[in-house]
Chain A
Amino acid sequence: MATKMQVSLTVNGEEHDILAEPRELLIHVLRERLNLTGPHIGCETSHCGACTVDMNGKSVKACTILAVQAQGAQITTIEGLGSPDALHVLQRTFREHHGLQCGYCTPGMITRAHGLLIENPSPTEEEVRFGIAGNLCRCTGYQNIVKAILAAAAEMNAKEAAE
Chain B
Amino acid sequence: MIPAAFEYHRPDDLVSAIGLLTRHGEEARVIAGGHSLLPMMKLRMTDIAHLVDLQGVSELRGITVGEGRVTLGAMVTQAELIGHPALTQAVPLLREAALQIADPQVRNMGTVGGNVANGDPGNDMPGLMQCLDATFTLVGPAGSRDVAARDFYHSAYVTERADDEILTTISFAAPGGGYAYEKQKRKIGDYATAAAAVVVAKSGGKVASASVAMTNLKDTPVWSAGAAAALVGSDCGKDAVAAAVSAMLGDIDPSADNRGPVEFKRHVAGVILARAIARAWSRA
Q: Quick check: is B58 within 8 A (CB to CB) of the other chain?
A: no
Q: Quick check: is B34 within 8 A (CB to CB) of the other chain?
A: yes
Closest chain B residue to A71, Cβ basis: B10
Count of chain B residues with a beta carbon within 8 Å of a chain A beta carbon: 29
| Minimum distance in angstroms from A149 CB to a CB of chain B | 13
Q: Quick check: is A49 within 8 A (CB to CB) of the other chain?
A: yes
| Contact assessment for B1 and A64 in the assembled complex, using a CB-CB cutoff below 8 Å | no
A46 in complex: contacting residue of B2, B35, B79, CB < 8 Å? B35
| Minimum distance in angstroms from B218 CB to a CB of chain A | 25
| Contact assessment for B105 and A112 in the assembled complex, using a CB-CB cutoff below 8 Å | yes
- Please, which residues of chain A bring their CB within 8 A of the CB of B6? 2, 22-23
**Contact residue range for chain A?**
20 to 34
| Minimum distance in angstroms from B144 CB to a CB of chain A | 27
CB-contacts of B11-54 with A (<8 A): 31, 34-35, 38-39, 41-42, 51, 53
- Please, which residues of chain A bring their CB within 8 A of the CB of B7? 2-3, 22
- CA A69 to CA B4, docked complex, whole Å: 16
| Contact assessment for A60 and B105 in the assembled complex, using a CB-CB cutoff below 8 Å | yes
| Contact assessment for B109 and A65 in the assembled complex, using a CB-CB cutoff below 8 Å | yes
Q: Quick check: is A116 within 8 A (CB to CB) of the other chain?
A: yes
| Contact assessment for B79 and A49 in the assembled complex, using a CB-CB cutoff below 8 Å | no
Q: Quick check: is B102 within 8 A (CB to CB) of the other chain?
A: yes
A-B contact count (CB 8 A): 84
| Contact assessment for A23 and B103 in the assembled complex, using a CB-CB cutoff below 8 Å | no
Question: Binary interface profile of A, 74-117, with partner B (CB < 8 Å = 1, else 0)?
Answer: 00000000000000000000000000000000000000100110
Q: Quick check: is B118 within 8 A (CB to CB) of the other chain?
A: no
B8 in complex: contacting residue of A5, A45, A59, CB < 8 Å? A5
- CA A23 to CA B6, docked complex, whole Å: 7
- CA A135 to CA B238, docked complex, whole Å: 40
Q: Quick check: is B268 within 8 A (CB to CB) of the other chain?
A: no
| Contact assessment for B189 and A23 in the assembled complex, using a CB-CB cutoff below 8 Å | no
Q: Quick check: is A1 within 8 A (CB to CB) of the other chain?
A: yes
Q: Quick check: is A148 within 8 A (CB to CB) of the other chain?
A: no
| Contact assessment for B53 and A69 in the assembled complex, using a CB-CB cutoff below 8 Å | yes
Q: Knowing A23-B5, A65-B109, A131-B104 are in contact, say whether A58-B79 is a contact too (CB < 8 A).
A: yes
Q: Quick check: is A61 within 8 A (CB to CB) of the other chain?
A: yes
- CA A52 to CA B51, docked complex, whole Å: 24
- Please, which residues of chain B bring their CB within 8 A of the CB of A46? 35, 38-39, 105-106
Q: Quick check: is B188 within 8 A (CB to CB) of the other chain?
A: yes
| Minimum distance in angstroms from A42 CB to a CB of chain B | 12
Q: Quick check: is B108 within 8 A (CB to CB) of the other chain?
A: yes
| Contact assessment for A49 and B109 in the assembled complex, using a CB-CB cutoff below 8 Å | no
Interface residues of B (CB under 8 A from A): 1-8, 10, 31, 34-35, 38-39, 41-42, 51, 53, 55, 79, 102-106, 108-109, 188-189
Interface residues of A (CB under 8 A from B): 1-3, 5, 21-25, 28, 44-47, 49, 52, 58-61, 64-66, 68-69, 71, 112, 115-116, 131-134
